[in-house]
Structure 1
Amino acid sequence: MKRYYLALDLKDDPQLIAEYEHWHQSENGWPEVRKSILDAGIIEMEIYRTGNRLMMVMATNERYDASAKAAADAVNPKVQEWEQLMWKFQQPLPWAEDGEKWVMMKQIFHL
């Protein structure tokens, strides 16, 4: 199992943040998006928030390939619809590359 840690910002608007959290409650998530995550070899995913900053933790199995996941998502209409909806709430980190949403975090300490 391998873990990945990623960051992204939400637009700093309490109403939008509340709506984003609403969509991420288990009863409001889209089954097609959940399936795409699991099918890619992601076995656990958690998102944490402080203020408007998000941190995602992903645990993956040996099948996970980020490029293959991106390619599958690009041709999945439900995933694309979800991503469009989420972009209403999200904004790129100031140092993100063009078109980059979630930015990989660098581990700087481990005990």
Structure 2
Amino acid sequence: MNRYCLALDLIDDPTLIRQYEYYHQNGWPEIKASILDAGILNMEIYRIGNRLFMIMDTDASFSFEKKAAMDAANPKVQEWETLMWTYQQSLPQAKPGEKWLLMDKIFQL
């Protein structure tokens, strides 16, 4: 199993943040299926203020390239991503079009 940690910001607006949380607490079944089909065993998203932190535990079949290709071919995932982008904003160090950025592990006990 591999673990990945990623970060992203939300637009700093309380109404938009509530809407974003609502969508994630009432997720679309097609999105959950696409996550599992990509080899993601567990996914958690945490928030403080407008900063999001995602933890993904994956099996050996997972790759970011495979997930991106699967997502590009899935109209429902594209619809979800377009909707989510109305709430999200890139981190300052992101390249154009980048959303979730992979974090570097700097400590483990």
CA distance in 2, matches of 1:20, 1:96: 21
Secondary structure of the residue that 2:107 maps to in structure 1? coil
Task: Provide the residue aligned with 2:21 in structure 1.
Answer: 21
Q: Note the 1:17-96 alignment, pairs <5 A.
A: 17-25=17-25, 28-96=26-94
Question: Which letter does structure 1 place at the counterpart of 2:67?
Answer: K
Q: Deviations over 1:22-50 (max 9, x none)?
A: 0011xx21111111100000000000000
Q: Aligned pairs, how many?
A: 109
Structure 2: which 5+ runs fail to align?
none
Q: Deviations over 1:48-96 (max 9, x none)?
A: 0000000000000011011011011011000000000000100000001
Secondary structure of the residue that 1:69 maps to in structure 2? helix
CA distance in 2, matches of 1:98, 1:67: 18
Question: Which letter does structure 1 place at the counterpart of 2:17?
Answer: I
After the TM superposition, list the runs of 4 or more consecutive aligned residues in structure 1 that deviate by more than 2 angstroms: none
TM-score normalised by structure 2 residue count: 0.98
The percent of aligned pairs where both chains have the same amino acid is 64
Over the aligned positions, Cα root-mean-square deviation in angstroms equals 0.5
Structure 1: which 5+ runs fail to align?
none
1:108 aligns with 2:106: yes
